[in-house]
Chains A and B, each alone.
Chain A
């Protein structure tokens, strides 16, 4: 039966089926037929995490640059959306300590324009940072990008007439439909996928595999590293912009460098160098953290209070799960492979041969 499934026609009809299923779930959620605000919010957050994680995977997993600057680039995108989309009438109320910069105070942009501008600004900053920093390699690069990400955050905390400092910016218009988040996520992932499977993507992979050989084959290392870094920052900026619109508020604390670790976690879990793995891991990790909230509530079993069920316990469970995953799936969920019907069917076939179920190696 599995062999029957393994032909082109069934595969494409299965794909269409999946797309219809996906679209109808979103429509049902969107029209309030199923789910509630909480579920919608978690799913939207997952979509945002998908964008940022895939962009980080482009830099870390496909180009082999150990960069930890994602939180900073997200902050740039988020603040751009916040600064330019808050209605003019609300501005004075928000900037009540230090008045907003008079030029910025007169500009209001539509959400889409502010979102793209945020991405572009993040990319521009990435180019400026990349010129000195991308000469470094491995852990040195990680430390330098982490440092720059913190600099961005601290600048935002202190440039009060632009960012309103530690008070943050509130009243950011909220998007009415999940399609904004999922649409942008699908578009971003598709664009990054197309890039990776183009000649430039191959050059990125060559740099990851062997810098010396890549350069000897005529690839300008610096140019391609800056390119990958800036494109990664662009999409992180887009993700940040969407986050601002989802939460309706931004403040510098949201972009503390620990945020970057969530994305690092997602790409390691999904597989460095696998886009589909990253998408799956984004949803699993974001939703998983919510599901595990169960462990944060006090639990009484047969009249006895279980003492370890208290706030914070879910992070213990989460970390344990992670350790198990990393121990048994060293290359993450998919390694450098992409999810496809062929991969699933091959695995099913293998499991059938080795008896029922059986674990993947």
Chain B
């Protein structure tokens, strides 16, 4: 069953067509990837799914519901959460605060009852705290909960960003280049980490990635984008041998 469907989406910025007639169907429970050379429109596609941009044409369907044109916060409430290409943590706040903030979207108490520490809002706050600590524990970050986010090592900041996205109770996780800037061993760790969270939290993962070894290893389906156009889709092997993909990445061979 598909959890996310992108139907004929086109995105134009003035005269530039960043994404052209894109069709993608992400299957529930799978790890799928979107790849392509720089400037192919991958992040634009992510921004359309998460509501940062509203597409010029086409629509985005999440769990059978049209979410095109909703603001990012509403889309996150529906269960899609993302990470960013260049880490965007709440840098000067603690690890725990970063996670707690991601719990705020489901709060029921109003600001007055929270300010006055009324019993039901205290209960809610306690529940948030327990839930956040449990999540940090599962992801091996509990020991760092009182550290300031920007003081963490790079790999851990990446993990914290994923943890923060999970804290919104997301069912579909969009990872924008999760392995960017990581060395090979960190990349391997990340790969098993992504597998673990998928199974543990019953997630669907859709990611943009440049590290081909990571993509080829963990994705069950790969979409290849070039100049805003989908040029191939399929399993790792299918994509690897597609001549259009090779052309896009390596250029066309010219006869001398």
Contacts and interface: CB of A to CB of B under 8 A. Distances in A.
Interface of A: 191, 194-195, 198-200, 202-203, 205-206, 209-210, 212-221, 227, 231, 336
Interface stretch (B57-65, B81-89, B185-193): B81-89
B107 A199 contact: yes
Given A194-B116, A216-B73, A217-B164, 16 more contacts: A198-B114, A200-B115, A202-B93, A205-B90, A209-B92, A215-B76, A216-B76, A216-B88, A217-B76, A217-B101, A217-B104, A217-B165, A219-B101, A220-B73, A227-B111, A231-B111
A191 B111 CA distance: 11
A195 B76 contact: no
A209 B91 contact: yes
B68 interface: no
B102 A217 contact: yes
A199 B100 CA distance: 8
Contact of B92 (A202, A220, A221, A336): A336
Contacts of A195: 111, 114-115
Contact of A219 (B84, B104, B125): B104
A199 B71 contact: no
SS of A interface (majority): helix
Interface residues of B, number: 38
Contacts of B164: 217
B114 A213 contact: no
Contact of B82 (A209, A216, A220): A216
Nearest to B170: A218
Interface of B: 50, 52, 71-73, 76-77, 81-82, 84, 88-93, 97, 100-107, 109, 111, 114-117, 121, 124-125, 128, 164-165, 168
B114 A217 contact: no
Contacts of A215: 71-73, 76
Contacts of B84: 212-213, 216
A209 B115 CA distance: 21
A152 to B, nearest CB: 25
Closest 8 CB pairs of A and B: A218-B105, A218-B76, A198-B114, A209-B90, A213-B88, A195-B115, A206-B101, A215-B72
Contacts of A206: 90, 93, 101, 104
B93 A205 contact: yes
Contacts of B89: 210, 213
Contacts of B50: 216
29 contacts: A191-B115, A194-B115, A198-B121, A199-B100, A199-B109, A199-B128, A200-B104, A202-B93, A202-B100, A203-B104, A205-B93, A205-B101, A206-B90, A209-B90, A209-B92, A210-B90, A216-B50, A216-B76, A216-B84, A217-B76, A217-B104, A218-B76, A218-B77, A218-B105, A218-B168, A219-B105, A227-B111, A231-B111, A336-B92
